[in-house]
């Protein structure tokens, strides 16, 4: 069932209908007539409607969320092909994520205060890149070497 264009009210109606169907099936089960596959289908349909209602409430449909995830996955693949090496030092890895955040922040600031210098598309591109680098960071959590790095003392006036 495609629910990405349904309103919240229609989704609530669908959930209520599914729950009524489920109640009817439960009653027939008590009488020995239940079709377990049909019960499972109705339960899954009700769960999908509830999930779609949640996403619709925050301005997303499941179809939109799916397309966003596909964009992020494609960006992870593209970035990994272009830059197959990833830092083993977690501070350098989080620096890559931070750099992408900075680029997103710049685009949002420009679109807000200098709209002629940016666009919603530029913001979307940077948001996808930030999500992709965050995923790359997560993919390496078990490979990071969490060790302090050498440090040096600075003297007043910038002398080392």
- 67 and 133 belong to one structural domain: yes
- 71 and 103 belong to one structural domain: yes
- 123 and 107 belong to one structural domain: yes
Torsion sign over Cα 97, 98, 103, 107: positive
- 30 and 85 belong to one structural domain: no
pLDDT of residue 93: 96
Question: What's the token pair of residue 3?
Answer: 């629910």
Number of domains in the chain: 2
- 113 and 126 belong to one structural domain: yes
In a domain, 133, yes or no: yes
- 49 and 66 belong to one structural domain: no
Q: For 89, which DSSP code?
A: S
- 27 and 74 belong to one structural domain: no
- 26 and 86 belong to one structural domain: no
Torsion sign over Cα 91, 86, 135, 102: positive
- 33 and 46 belong to one structural domain: yes
- 41 and 74 belong to one structural domain: no
In a domain, 107, yes or no: yes
* CA proximity to 118, closest of 103, 104, 107: 107
pLDDT of residue 44: 65
Taking only the tens of pLDDT, the chain with its 160 residues reads 444 555 666 666 666 666 666 666 665 555 555 556 665 666 666 666 666 665 555 555 656 777 888 899 999 999 999 999 999 999 999 999 999 999 999 999 999 999 999 999 999 999 999 999 999 999 999 999 999 989 989 888 777 6
d(CA 18, CA 39): 10
pLDDT of residue 1: 44
In a domain, 112, yes or no: yes
- 131 and 78 belong to one structural domain: yes
Q: How far apart are the first and last CA of the chain?
A: 67
- 85 and 133 belong to one structural domain: yes
User: Angle, to 10 degrees, between the axis of helix 62-82 and the axis of helix 36-57?
Assistant: 80
**What is the extent of the structural domain holding 83?**
62-139
H-helix segments, the chain: 8-30, 36-57, 62-82, 90-113, 120-139
pLDDT of residue 3: 45
pLDDT of residue 11: 63
In a domain, 153, yes or no: no
Question: What's the token pair of residue 156?
Answer: 């007043």
In a domain, 146, yes or no: no
pLDDT of residue 21: 65
Contact status, residue 73 vs residue 95, Cβ threshold 8 Å: no
């Amino acid at each position: 069932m495609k629910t990405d264009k349904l309103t919240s009210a229609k989704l609530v109606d669908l959930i209520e209908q599914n729950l009524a169907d489920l109640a009817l099936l439960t009653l027939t089960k008590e009488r020995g007539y239940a079709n377990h596959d049909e019960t499972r289908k109705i339960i899954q349909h009700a769960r999908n409607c509830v999930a779609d209602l949640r996403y619709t409430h925050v301005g997303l449909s499941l179809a939109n969320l799916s397309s966003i995830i596909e964009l992020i996955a494609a960006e992870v693949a593209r970035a990994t092909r272009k830059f197959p090496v990833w830092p083993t030092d977690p501070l350098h890895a989080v620096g890559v994520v931070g750099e992408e955040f900075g680029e997103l922040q710049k685009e949002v600031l420009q679109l807000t205060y200098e709209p002629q210098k940016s666009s919603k598309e530029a913001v979307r591109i940077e948001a996808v890149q930030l999500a992709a680098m965050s995923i790359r960071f997560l993919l390496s959590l078990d490979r990071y070497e969490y060790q302090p790095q050498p440090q040096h003392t600075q003297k007043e006036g910038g002398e080392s």
